[in-house]
């Protein structure tokens, strides 16, 4: 399998780490565990769902910049590979992706390992007794935790039939799920929803399930607890002591999104709402795009009541298409420099670091072509000290004010050709 494609990290949340033991959050490579699968055209999706569609727009020499440009369009189901499901997916009038308060994307990890039980029963569902047994070994589930259920199922990821436990062409046949994979029992989900303050519940199988009924997500989503599916590397995360960042693509009215999941031990992060600043725009059909590029589009695939077996559930899902370079996004070095890192090659610890903000908004008022100068960086350092190691530098231009006006934001009213 060639891993020449990319993952998307379209959410940049900042959590203040200095209120949590004075740490500057600049983890080393061995302190961050990536719990996400690489996204590529063979990424497994639920039976009948639209797969990941990656269209290469350009990969070759270019007259601008450093002389090279790589650019792609992507399409697919909202739930693919490693994804975060918003409460609105299985519960009406609950949070969409863009409505989940961002501090809830961080929290202490509670990892519950049921992989031995799954070895003997591939339809095993996490029981309440598994959670009680975790508590008797490790103490109470901490406040605002994120539960990760290790089933060992990610080893089947490369084989769609094995991963979903079916080779059926659709998810439901005669109102019954065709899938067979480990999940979470209704009893355990209800207990987590009622008797803990968890922000989210994740698993390394394709769904929270149970795969015979898909009822467990409803209990969690009704309480605005998000779920995460398709995690990987959970065996590398200890039962407790790590924290998680679960950063989904910020899609307006999204019921699920690609997510980047990073577990780390450097900082014990459990931020309050006021500790967290969301630096992303929510993506919608009106999101401004580069000259000549397709818009982002969210397509409704299903929204309404859904009967599975004897259960009356609510369900909403979407698909999307758009350029990679849409809304708030991260450009991998390969975008402009031949043979450098694509998204999935950026070491995950490099996605976390101290934030530095340098303001050029004053001069940008009168100069739409304003650029940062070395002198301005030195001036920043005279005032604030050296730019810390492994920092991530943000330029504040004030230009966000124009984001809803194509002509002002891009400084042109040419919609067709970049040249
Ligand atoms: C992928 O997207 C392109 C561009 O939208 C479209 O032409 C093509 O049919 C799509 N392919 C699949 C397999 O969906
Ligand atoms: C799995 O089944 C084997 C054989 O029946 C048994 O020896 C083992 O104890 C079982 N393991 C678990 C975790 O239930
Ligand atoms: C994929 O999994 C199915 C079901 O377990 C199995 O029958 C099949 O042989 C596997 N395919 C490959 C290529 O391993
Ligand atoms: C929550 O805890 C209370 C008190 O222990 C218990 O009565 C209740 O049944 C629990 N809820 C669930 C869904 O297990
Ligand atoms: C999101 O939902 C709101 C309210 O229903 C609607 O006005 C808006 O157009 C929707 N946006 C997208 C991108 O679907
Ligand atoms: C977004 O665009 C898609 C495709 O054109 C369309 O089906 C959908 O209704 C649009 N959503 C809104 C809220 O306009
Ligand atoms: C958008 O920006 C252009 C260029 O600055 C300006 O001429 C135009 O009036 C703006 N449109 C709106 C609706 O504000």
46, 319 Cβ separation under 8 angstroms: no
Please, what's the b/e burial string for 281-309 (b: 16 or more CB within 10 A of its CB; e: otherwise)? bbbbeebbbeeebeebebeeeeeeebebe
- Domain boundaries 31-323, corresponding CATH code: 3.50.30.50
Residues pairing with 356 in the sheet: 393
pLDDT attached to residue 414? 86
Positive or negative, the CA dihedral 116, 118, 120, 124 is: positive
346, 335 Cβ separation under 8 angstroms: no
pLDDT attached to residue 21? 42
CA of 315 to the centre of ligand 5 (A): 17
Angle among Cα 316, 106, 110 to the nearest 5 degrees reads 90
* Helices assigned H by DSSP within 367-415: 374-384, 406-410
Q: Which ligand is nearest to the CA of 190?
A: 4
pLDDT attached to residue 417? 79
pLDDT attached to residue 20? 42
Give the Å distances, CA to CA, from 344 to 10, 63, 155, 173, 283.
Answer: 13, 26, 20, 36, 22
Residue appearing with tokens 């949340």: 13
CA of 169 to the centre of ligand 5 (A): 31
User: Tens digit of pLDDT for each residue in 382-401?
Assistant: 999 999 999 999 999 999 99
User: Tens digit of pLDDT for each residue in 49-99?
Assistant: 999 999 999 999 999 889 999 999 999 999 999 999 999 999 999 999 999
pLDDT attached to residue 17? 52
291, 323 Cβ separation under 8 angstroms: no
Give the Å distances, CA to CA, from 16 to 267, 272, 276, 279.
Answer: 10, 9, 6, 13
User: Tens digit of pLDDT for each residue in 253-279?
Assistant: 999 999 999 999 877 888 999 989 999
Specify the residue with its C-alpha closest to ligand 4, atom 9.
191
CA of 292 to the centre of ligand 6 (A): 19
Look at residue 307 and give its three-state secondary structure. strand
Token couple for 58:
């350009």
Residue ranges with strand state E in 133-254: 146-150, 172-173, 176-177, 183-184, 200-203, 226-229, 243-248
Specify the residue with its C-alpha closest to ligand 7, atom 5.
408
Residue appearing with tokens 């790590």: 242
Give the Å distances, CA to CA, from 354 to 87, 281, 371.
Answer: 31, 21, 22
List the chain domain ranges. Answer: 31-323
CB count within 10 Å of CB 191 equals 16
Asked whether 300 lines ligand 4 (CB < 6 A), one says no
CA of 123 to the centre of ligand 2 (A): 15
CB count within 10 Å of CB 241 equals 12
Closest of 239, 112, 124 to residue 185, by C-alpha: 124
Question: Is the link from the previous residue into 200 a cis peptide, with omega within 30 of 0?
Answer: no
Token couple for 144:
């605002």
315, 90 Cβ separation under 8 angstroms: yes
The pick from 405, 410, 415 for probing ligand 7's pocket by mutation, whose C-beta has the most ligand atoms within 8 angstroms, reads 405
Ligand 2, residue 116: give the atom nearest the CA.
Answer: 13
- Spatial distance between the Cα atoms of 263 and 190, rounded to a whole number of angstroms: 26
- pLDDT tens by residue, the chain, 419 residues: 222 222 233 345 566 655 444 456 788 999 999 999 999 989 999 999 999 999 999 999 999 889 999 999 999 999 999 999 999 999 999 999 999 999 999 999 999 999 999 999 999 999 999 999 999 999 999 999 999 999 999 999 999 999 999 999 999 999 999 999 999 999 999 999 999 999 999 999 999 999 999 999 999 999 999 999 999 999 999 999 999 999 999 999 999 999 999 999 877 888 999 989 999 999 999 999 998 899 999 999 999 999 999 999 999 999 999 999 999 999 999 999 999 999 999 999 999 999 999 999 999 999 999 999 999 999 999 999 999 999 999 999 999 999 999 999 999 988 887 76
Give the Å distances, CA to CA, from 205 to 30, 40, 52, 142, 229.
Answer: 25, 18, 18, 24, 6
Q: Which ligand is nearest to the CA of 117?
A: 2
Residue ranges with strand state E in 114-186: 125-126, 146-150, 172-173, 176-177, 183-184
Asked whether 412 lines ligand 7 (CB < 6 A), one says no
- Spatial distance between the Cα atoms of 48 and 164, rounded to a whole number of angstroms: 12
Asked whether 41 lines ligand 1 (CB < 6 A), one says no
Residues pairing with 142 in the sheet: none
């Amino acid at each position: 399998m060639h891993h020449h494609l990319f993952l998307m990290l379209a959410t940049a949340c900042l959590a203040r780490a200095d209120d949590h033991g004075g740490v500057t959050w600049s983890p080393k490579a061995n302190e961050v565990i990536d719990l996400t699968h690489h996204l590529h055209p063979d990424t497994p999706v639920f039976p009948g769902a639209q797969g990941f569609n990656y269209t290469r727009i350009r990969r070759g020499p270019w007259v601008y910049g450093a002389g090279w440009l790589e650019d792609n369009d992507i399409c697919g189901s909202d739930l693919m590979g490693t994804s975060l499901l918003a409460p609105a997916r299985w519960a009406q009038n609950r949070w969409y992706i863009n409505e989940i308060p961002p501090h809830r994307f961080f929290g202490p990890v509670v990892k519950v390992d049921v992989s031995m039980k799954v070895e003997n029963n591939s339809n095993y569902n996490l029981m309440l007794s598994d959670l009680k047994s975790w508590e008797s070994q490790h103490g109470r589930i901490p406040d605002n935790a994120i539960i990760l259920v290790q089933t060992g199922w990610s080893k089947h990821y490369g084989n769609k039939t094995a991963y979903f436990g079916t080779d059926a062409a659709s998810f439901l046949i005669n109102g019954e799920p065709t899938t067979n994979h480990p999940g979470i029992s209704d009893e355990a989900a209800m207990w987590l929803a009622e008797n803990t303050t968890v922000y989210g519940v994740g698993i390394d199988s394709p769904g929270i399930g149970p795969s015979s009924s898909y009822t467990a997500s409803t209990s969690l989503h009704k309480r605005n607890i998000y779920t995460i599916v398709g995690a990987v590397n959970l065996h590398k995360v200890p039962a407790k002591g790590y924290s998680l960042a679960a950063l989904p693509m910020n899609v307006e009215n999204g019921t699920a999104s690609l997510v980047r999941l990073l577990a780390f031990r450097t900082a014990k992060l459990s931020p309050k709402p006021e500790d967290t600043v969301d630096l992303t725009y929510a993506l919608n059909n009106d999101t401004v795009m580069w000259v000549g590029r397709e818009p982002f589009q969210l397509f409704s695939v299903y929204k309404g009541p859904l009967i599975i077996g004897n259960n009356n559930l609510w369900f909403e899902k979407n698909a999307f298409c758009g350029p990679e370079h849409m809304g708030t996004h991260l450009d991998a070095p390969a975008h402009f420099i031949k043979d450098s890192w694509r998204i999935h090659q950026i070491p995950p610890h490099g996605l976390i670091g101290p934030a530095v903000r340098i303001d050029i908004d004053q001069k940008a008022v009168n100069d739409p072509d304003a650029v940062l100068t070395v002198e301005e960086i030195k001036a920043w350092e005279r005032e604030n000290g050296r730019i810390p190691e492994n920092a991530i530098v943000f330029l504040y231009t004030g230009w966000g004010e124009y984001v809803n006006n194509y002509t002002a934001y891009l400084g042109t009213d040419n919609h067709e050709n970049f040249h």
